[in-house]
Amino acid sequence: MPGVAQPLLRIARTDKMRVVVRLPDRDVPFARRGAPATLTIDSLPNQTFQGEISRMARAEEYDTRYMRVEIDLENPDGTLEDGMYGSATIVLVKQRPGVRIPSSCLQGQSSDGSRTIFVVNDGKAKRRQVKVGDDDGRQAQILSGLSASDQVISGQLGSLEDGLPVKVVRSESDDSQPANDDATEGSKDASASRDDSQGPTR
């Protein structure tokens, strides 16, 4: 552009690289400066890089509820290049308390992390709102709204309604039972099926 000075060159430091990670809201309280981090780079398979959290934004993005976190990586041989992409695993301060249930038990989605499940209450299905933490697609961590003694209904939930009579089915798989993160023993049986023997409910 005429009349605007343009730099002739730029100098970049490459012996230490800054990795930018966006941390989800649910993990922000458990991240600290100095927390260990392991990174893998898409274009450098079978290699891992060790670093730690160096800086945190201390403010989340309003539209995404993510926080910017920076990890410094030593790069003495220049293996890492500016602009590379990868994945980071950060060690959080502690595991959050809660129970775990199969992800298939969850219904709905809200912006604040709340989901809907069905539990057995006096032989009937009861809809309940719960706060969900980590969810890997197989097991979901429930932060609030559920205890390890509750019986969670799993299976085909499409036709299930609040107040519908259900019959508990004993499951041999631990995947259908809520497990307490802090407990050493399993909890009550947690699967149920629709009980049509009592007729439809109004």
| Single pTM value for the model | 0.46
Query: Closest Cα to residue 48, out of 71, 67, 68?
Result: 71
Residues 121 and 81 in one domain: no
Residues 86 and 109 in one domain: no
Last residue of a domain, one of 90, 122, 141: 90
pLDDT at 178: 60
How confident is residue 11, by pLDDT bands cut at 50, 70 and 90? confident
Query: DSSP of 84-141, one letter per residue?
Result: --EEEEE--SSPPP-EEEEGGG-B---TTSEEEEEEEETTEEEEEEEEEEEE-SSEEE
Q: Is residue 8 part of a domain?
A: no
Last residue of a domain, one of 90, 117, 141: 90
Lowest mean pLDDT among 20-24, 47-51, 94-98: 94-98
Total domains in the chain come to 2
DSSP 9: -
Q: Which range marks the domain in which residue 62 is found?
A: 18-90
Q: Is residue 120 part of a domain?
A: yes
pLDDT at 119 over 80: yes
Residues 109 and 183 in one domain: yes
Q: Is residue 162 part of a domain?
A: yes
What tens digit of pLDDT does each residue of 54-104 get? 999 988 898 998 999 999 999 999 899 989 999 999 988 766 667 888 888
Residues 135 and 79 in one domain: no
How confident is residue 42, by pLDDT bands cut at 50, 70 and 90? very high
Residues 86 and 103 in one domain: no
Q: Measure the CA–CA gap between 107 and 101, rounded to whole angstroms.
A: 12
Residues 116 and 183 in one domain: yes
What tens digit of pLDDT does each residue of 133-183 get? 777 677 788 888 888 888 888 877 777 788 888 887 765 554 445 655 543
pLDDT at 185 over 50: no
**Amino acid present at 90:** I
Q: Is residue 5 part of a domain?
A: no
